[in-house]
Amino acid sequence: VFSFPIRNTGKISIPFEFYFTLDDSTMTNSSTINSAVNPFTVNPSSGTILAGESLLITIKFQPIEVDDYSLFLHLKLLNLLPGKSYPIIPIRGKSLRPLCHFELETKDYLFDSIQNLSNSLDPNTRVIEIETIGIKKIIKNFYILNPTSITYDFEWVKEGNEQGKLKCLTRQGTIVGGKKSEIIFEYSPDNIDVLETFWKFKIPSQNIQIPFMILCRSLEPSIYFDKTSVNFKSILVDCPVKESLNLVNQENIPFYFSFNDILNENSSVIQINPNSGFIAPKSEQIITVMFQPRSEKIYNYNLICNVRKKPNPLVINIKGEGYLIHEKVYCQNVDNSLYLLSNSDFNLIDFGRVFLNAKSSKRITIKNDGRFPFDFSWKIKGNKSNCISINPEFGKVGKDEIVNCDIDFSPTVHVNLKNVTAVCQISNGRQYTLSFEGIGAKPNLLISEDFHDFGPCFIFRPGMKPLEHRFKVTNKDEKEISLDVSISNSSAFEINAFGPPCIAPNASTFITVLFFPREATKYQEYLTVDINGLSKTKLTVSGEGVDMNLDLAHSDHKSIGFGAVRVGHVVSKTIKLVNKSIIPVKFNLGTTSVIEKLLKNFVTFSQTQDITIRPKGYFNLEFKFIPTVRVQPFFEEIHFECPGYSKPLFAVHGACHGIEVKIENQNISFGAVVLNSSNARKVQLRNVGDIGVKFKWDVSRFYPHFSITPSEGYISSGMEVPLEFTFHPKELDHDIRLDSIPCFIEGANPLTINLSGVCIPPTIQSEVLKFSTAVRESDVKQIPLTNKYPFTWMVKPVIDNEFWSCLESLEIESGQTKQLEIVYKPLQMTNDEHKHEGSIFIPLPDGSGMLFRLLGTADKPTAVESHTLEIPCKTHHVQSLKVQNWLKSSQRFKVVIEQAKTDLSVLLKGHSYIDIPPSAAYDYKLSYFAYKEGLFNVKVTFRNEDTGEYLFHTLQFKSTPPAVSAVYEMSTIARQPVLQEISILNPLPITVSFNVTCTHPDVSCPSQFNIAPRSEGICTVEFLPLQAKESSTRVTLSSNELGVYNYDLKLIATPAGPERSIQFKVSLGASQTQSFRFTSYAKSKIEYLCKIDSPDFTCEKSVIAPPALASGGVEVVIDVVYEPSKLGDTKSFLSVSSPQGGDYICPLIGHCIAPKPQGPFTIKAGSFASIPFKNVSAQTANFIMTIDNVNFTVKNQESIGSKKMVHINVNYKVVNSKAPKTAKMVVSQVGSNVQWIYYLKGI
C-alpha cells in the first residue's frame, strides 16, 4: 500500500478521476488496462476535491502471479488552465513466490467494527489480533504452510522485555515441504487493557524474517444493570417493599454473578433475590430488592455485585427512609371538651336512651402529629351494629391535619346495645376499640285502638249526619310527646277534632274521625300519627258506602187507582214495600201536604210516620178510599222521606163517578169488495158517563173476513174512541154477514154490532213489468197511482214473490198522483230458460184493485268492492274483505284467490273455506306479501258450491320501494376487519341471483351470489376501516325475482394501537438503518407523510404506496436511520399518516454505547494522514485532540458545527528515534466525558 495527498489550492471544487495505462500517453481504448488483470487499485478512484482541501490517495498492489509490473496512473482533472496537462505517475511493482504462507484472516484494521477502508497495515508487517471478553486465558492458533519442496526450521522471536501475558507455545519447529505446522499463542490478561507486542518470524536457513504485531485486547464484558440506583423513598417501618431491576448480559457467553453479603444492621433491612447465579447469553435476569426499614431513619447503601471474569464489580445504590405513624384519637364530651382514647383497652361510648328513628351522635377526632399522611378505616362488630353508622368510614389524614368522624346511633326498632364495638384501624399502625352502650325505644304512647270499622252506611247526602268515632291517646312516657295526625287524600274520612299537639306525661287527648261515604263502595284509609317527628304509627279506619234502595215489591204498583167509586162504597188497596239495602231504613211517607190532600179526599193509610224496614225486609202499606160524597178525579204522588233523601214511591188516583157507553152505528154494510182488497168504515165509541171504563171486543167473531182496530182499550169520561171496521174478503161470496158481535164494557152491559159485504174477483192489467239487474243488486220500476176519491187513500200493495218489494203502505191525498216504487233485488241468478216471475196487487178504496205481472232477470254479480292499495314490498299486510250472507240460512263458501298474471314473488294467503251464519257478515283476512316492486291485480271469489252463487272482490296492490330490512352495527379497531353475515331466504322453486352494491370505501362485499331453491343464503360483508371514525352506509341486495333488500350499517372504528417497536443499538458516531414495514390497505395509489419527533432518527419525508391488492393489503417499507447524538437510550415515535390510508405509529428505541477505537492509521514519516471526524451532537461543539507520542502532532482544538464532517490532519515526524512508531490519539468533547480513540502507526 502506498499513500500520497493531493491538494486543491484553487477557489472552486475540482472533479477528478484516476485511470491506468500501459504508457504515459493520453488514455485511448487500446491502452486502457482491464481491471481483472490489473494488480493495482486506487482509492478513491473518482470524486471531487473541495476548494482549499486535501485528499489522501491510496494505491494498493495485490498481484496474483509472480511477475514485474509497470503501469502509469493518470489523474484526470476538469477545468485545467490552457496548456496544462493531466498529472501522470509511473507505478511499478514486483511479485515473488513466498517461502511460507500464513493462514490468517486478512484484516485491514484492529477491530471488526471499524468501517474506514482508507488505511491498511504495511505489507511487510502482519497483524495477529487476539480478543477476549473479560479476564480469562485464551488460545490463538493458526497454521503456516510451506508451499516449497524444501524443509526448513523456523522460530519466533519476541521484541521487548514484557513477560507473562502473551506466550508462544510453539517458538520453534520444522515445516516439511508441502506441509503445515500449527502455531499456538496463549494470552492471559490480568486487567482490561490493550497489549501491543511485536514478534519476528525467522527462517534462519533462508535468511528470512517477517515482522508481526500481535494486538491483544481484553474487553470489559457488556454486563450492566438497567438501573444504577433504586430509591424506595419513604416506607413505613417494618413494612417490606419490593423493587425489580434487570441484570443485562449483552455477551454471547454466560457469566456467574454474586452479591456481597450485607453486613451490620442493613442485613435485615435489604434482601436480594437471587443473591447469586448464572445469567445466560443475550438475556436479562430479574433482580428483586426488598427494602424493610427497621427504624425511623434514612438509609443509603451501595450494593456490590461481582461478575466472574469482570474486573470491576457492578454497584447499585439503594436509598430509602423509614418512618412511623404518630396519631392521636380523641372523643368529644357534651361540653365540647376532648379526652384521649386508649389503644390498649376498650373505650366506652354511652348514647343513653334514644327514641326510635331519632339520632344521637358522638364525635371522634383523629389528629396526625407525624410527617407523613396515613389512612384510617372503621369496622363495626356486633349483632345490632346496623343501627350504628360512622361517617366517614375511611379516609386519609394529612400532615398536621385533623379529621372528625361522627358516630350516629339511629335505632329503628327497640334495641339495647350490648357487645357492639367499633374498631378504628390506623393503616400499618395501632387500632382503637370503642364499646357502645345505649337503648333505642319507642315513645310510651297508648292509643285506645288501632282499627275501627264504621260498617255499612248510606251514601252521604246534604242534611245527613256523618258517623263519628273517637280514638283516645294517652302519654305513659316520662317525657312530653308531640303528635301530628294526618290522613291521605280521602273524600270519605275526615279528622274532625284533635287535642293539643303536645301531650304532657300521664295526660290524654282524643282524635275524632268522621265518615261520610260518597259512593257505593268499600273504604279503608290510614291515619298517620307522627310521634315527635321521628316515628310514625298508623290507625286504620274502614267503612262501606251503600245506596238507600227502598222500592215497591211489585213494579205494577207504581200507580194505584181506586177507579170510579160510587158514593158509600169502600175500596181498599195494599202495596208491599221492600228494603233492598243491607242496613235498616227508617222513613216517613210524604210529603205532608200530599198526605193532607189525600185525607181530605177520604183516603186513609195504615202508617205514615217512623216506618222502619229491616234489611231485605218487607212492609205492607194499606190504604182505603171511602168516599161519602162525590169526589173529583184526583192524582197524588207519594214519597218516602228521611234525612238527605226524598224519592217518589207510587201514585194514588181515583174518583167517585157513574158509567154509560154508546156506539155510533150498530149496522155497517161494506158493499162489493175485490178479492184480496179491503174496505174500511169508522164508527165512534163514546163515554157519556162519569168515570172511565175499559172495553173489549170479541175478536174471534170477526175472523176471517172482518177486523177491528182497536179491539180493546180504555175510554175516559166524556171522550170518544174511533173504531175502524175493515172488510177484507178471502173468498168470492155474494153475501158475507156477521150479526151481534159483542163489545164488553167494564161495570156495564155489553154492546153489539152487525157487519155485511159482497166479495167480487179483481181486474187483471195487460201490462207486464220487466226487471233486469245483477244478482243481489236492485232494479226499480214505478207505477203511477191517482186518488180520484174525495178522501185520503191508503194503498197497501200485495206482492207474491220475495225478490220484489215495495212500501207496505202508500198514502195518497185526494186528487194527487204518486209513484209506487217496486224494487227487484234477486238473491239467485237466472238463465235464458228460467226467469223470476211474480205479481203485485194494488187494492182500491172502492173495493176494486189492479193486478200486475212481474218478470225479472238476474245477471252475474259485480265486484262487492274494488280495493286499491299501496304497500311497501317485503311488508306483510292483511286486508279485510267483507262477505255478506244474503240468505236466512248458513252458507259455506269456497275461497278462490287468483292473480291476473301469476307472479311467484307475490304471496297471497287466506282460508280456503268460510262458514257464515244467516244474514251475517264476515271479515275475510287476506294476507299479502310482495318481494319486489310492481302492480299486481288480484281477484278473490267466494262461491257456494251447492247453489253455484258467488260474490267477489277485486284488489290492485301497488308494491312501493321497501323499507330498511335490518340495521347492523359493526365495530372494530382501525385496520382490523370485522365480518357481518346477512341471511336471506329464497322461497322460490328456482335459483335466485343477487347483485350486491355498497358505496362505502371501507366496506367490501361480493358483487354477486346465488341462492338455491327454497334455501337460505348468506352474504358476508367485511368492514375494514383505515381511520378511526364513525359513519354509516347502506348495503343493497337486488334480484329480478325477489326485488331489493336494504340493510343499514352503523360503522364504528376505534384508533389502532402502535405497531411493533424497532430497537437500535449503535456506538456514538456510527449509524444504523432498519426498515419499518407496514401494510397499506388503501385501494388507490396514495402518499404517506412520515414524521419523527427526535433528531436522532431520520427517514424519508414521504413514501408512495401502490394500490392494495383485492385479497389483502400491500407492504410498504420505510428506512429509519438512527444516528445518536448522545450516550444512553432515546425513545421516539415514527408517525406515518395519510388522509386516505390512516395513521401508523411505530415506537423507536435507540441505545447508544461508547464509541469504539479505530485504526491503525498508517502515516509515512514527514507526511500526514487525514482522519474523518463528525460532530454528532445537536449543537456546535469544541473538541480537544491529544496524542501520547511526540512524533505525532495534531491541531490541539477545533470547533465543529452540528452534524458536520471534518478531517483531522495528523502529522508524523520523527523527533525522538527511541519513541515507538505507534500512537493513540484521543478526541474529547469539551463539557463531556465521551472520547474517540484512534490508533496511529508511523512508517
Q: Note the pLDDT tens digit of each residue in 479-513.
A: 778 777 878 767 788 887 666 668 888 888 888 88
In this predicted structure, the answer to whether residue 954 has a pLDDT above a threshold of 90 is yes
Q: What beta strand segments (E) does 1154-1221 contain? A: 1158-1163, 1167-1174, 1181-1187, 1192-1194, 1197-1200, 1205-1212
Q: Say what the pLDDT of residue 630 is.
A: 60
User: Do 964-1054 and 550-655 have the same topology in CATH?
Assistant: yes
Q: Tell me: pLDDT of 1051 over 90.
A: yes
Residue 626 CA to residue 185 CA, distance in Å, equals 168
pLDDT of residue 344: 85
Kindly state the helix (H) or strand (E) to which residue 154 belongs, with its residue range.
strand 152-159
Query: What letter does residue 161 receive in the DSSP assignment?
Result: S
Cell of 871: 304497500
Q: Average pLDDT, stretch 48-65? A: 85
Amino acid 110: pLDDT: 42
Domain ranges of the chain: 1-97, 223-323, 327-441, 445-540, 550-655, 661-760, 764-859, 866-960, 964-1054, 1062-1153, 1158-1242
Whole-prediction pTM = 0.37
The average pLDDT across 10-35 equals 71
Q: Does CATH number 3.50.50.60 belong to domain 1-97?
A: no
Residue 192: what pLDDT? 79
Element (H, E) at 593: helix 592-600
Identify the band that residue 271 occupies on the pLDDT scale cut at 50, 70 and 90: confident
Model confidence at 35, pLDDT cuts 50, 70, 90, reads: low
Q: Read off the pLDDT of residues 92-142 as tens digits, 9 standing for 90 and up.
A: 888 876 788 888 876 554 434 333 333 445 557 788 888 888 777 888 888
pLDDT in the model for residue 28: 45
Q: What is the pLDDT of residue 355?
A: 79
- Hey, what CATH topology would domain 327-441 get? Immunoglobulin-like (2.60.40)
Task: Express each pLDDT in 527-554 by its tens digit.
Answer: 888 887 677 888 888 898 888 888 888 8
Q: Say which CATH class 964-1054 falls into.
A: mainly beta
Reference 1185, options 1241, 1237, 1243; nearest CA is: 1237
Detail the DSSP E strand segments found in 934-1081: 934-943, 950-960, 964-973, 978-986, 992-997, 1003-1004, 1008-1011, 1015-1023, 1030-1039, 1043-1054, 1062-1067, 1072-1080
Share of the chain above pLDDT 90, in %: 22
**CATH number corresponding to 764-859:** 2.60.40.10
Residue 1101 to residue 857: CA distance in whole angstroms: 98
Residue 660 scores a pLDDT above 60: yes
pLDDT at residue 107 in the model: 58
pLDDT averaged over the chain? 85
What average pLDDT does range 640-648 have in this prediction?
A: 82
* 3-class state of residue 592 by DSSP: helix
Architecture of domain 1158-1242: Sandwich (2.60)
Render pLDDT for 1055-1083 as a digit per residue (tens, 0 to 9).
888 888 999 999 888 889 999 999 888 88
996, pLDDT greater than 90: yes
- The residues facing 529 across adjacent strands are 485, 537
Summarised one tens digit per residue, pLDDT across range 364-390 is 999 998 888 889 999 988 877 688 889
Q: Which CATH class is domain 661-760?
A: mainly beta
Q: Supply the pLDDT for residue 1084.
A: 87
- pLDDT for the residue numbered 499: 66
Q: So what's the pLDDT on residue 766?
A: 64
Residue 971 pLDDT: 93
What average pLDDT does the segment 1008-1025 reach? 91
**CATH placement of domain 550-655:** 2.60.40.10
Mean pLDDT of 570-586: 87
> 1062-1153 architecture in CATH?
Sandwich (2.60)
pLDDT given at position 496: 76
Angle among Cα 77, 80, 86 to the nearest 5 degrees reads 50
What fold, for 866-960? Immunoglobulin-like (2.60.40)
Task: Provide CATH code, domain 223-323.
Answer: 2.60.40.10
Of 628 and 970, the structure prediction assigns the larger pLDDT to: 970
Domain 445-540 CATH superfamily: Immunoglobulins (2.60.40.10)
